[in-house]
Amino acid sequence: MRYAVFLRNVNLGRPNCPTRGQFEAAFLDAGAHTASSFLTNGTLVYEPAAGRSAQAVYEAACEALRGVCGLKEPGFVRTVAYLSEVVATAPFAGVDPHDVYACCVSFLSSPDVVPPPLPMASARRDVELVQVTPGEVLSVCRMVGNSPGSPNAFLEKLLGSPLSTRNWNTVVRLVARFA
């Protein structure tokens, strides 16, 4: 089974962030059979080797990355099959892409983090929540003035918990490539 990990606040090669090689090597050394970095935003798809759990591989890889580059940010693991199911629901089908800056998905840290009720939007209306799953919040962000809304900042403040946000197209492309 393939898993995707979404590390929070990571851009490969920047300070306290791994390079692509370090990122993939950390997962392979931690017991992944395969590991493929996807884009430069801290997204990686991996398959645990026989007898290794996805969580054990993730935890060992994060520990290695702390030592290699000082990475302290959390990650959020989902199966690629699950992501494929979420993509199949077409949560943004009714959204006109010309009316928004971006469609986004924010990954919650644990089942203990209760997603917010809908409908909900930020005070500036630059972030609007579209759909909630047990582990994700899907949203649109809009330009207000010269800056787009930040679903990650809005939701972290609202929920009091770290999370990681990706452009929806990143998940769609990941599923198309790895599912």
Residues 157 and 143 sit within 8 Å (Cβ to Cβ): no
Q: How confident is the model at residue 27 (pLDDT cuts 50, 70, 90)?
A: very high
165-118-142-147 Cα dihedral, nearest 10 degrees:
-60
The predicted pLDDT at position 16 comes to 87
Q: Phi/psi at 25 (nearest 5 deg)?
A: -60, -40
Res 22 pLDDT > 90: yes
Nearest-angstrom CA–CA distance, 163 and 161: 6
pLDDT of 134 higher than 90: no
Question: What is the overall mean pLDDT for the chain?
Answer: 95
pLDDT of 159 reads: 94
Long-range contacts of 27-31, Cβ-Cβ distance < 8 Å, separation of 24 or more: 27/57, 27/58, 27/61, 29/60, 29/61, 29/64, 30/56, 30/57, 30/58, 30/59, 30/60, 30/61, 30/64, 31/56, 31/57, 31/60
Residue 25's pLDDT is: 98
What is the pLDDT, as a whole number, of residue 58? 98
Render pLDDT for 91-117 as a digit per residue (tens, 0 to 9): 999 999 899 999 999 999 888 888 888
List the one residue out of 34, 16, 11, 10 whose CA is nearest residue 24: 34
Q: How far is CA 65 from the centre of its chain?
A: 18
* pLDDT attached to residue 116: 86
Average pLDDT over every residue of 132-152: 94
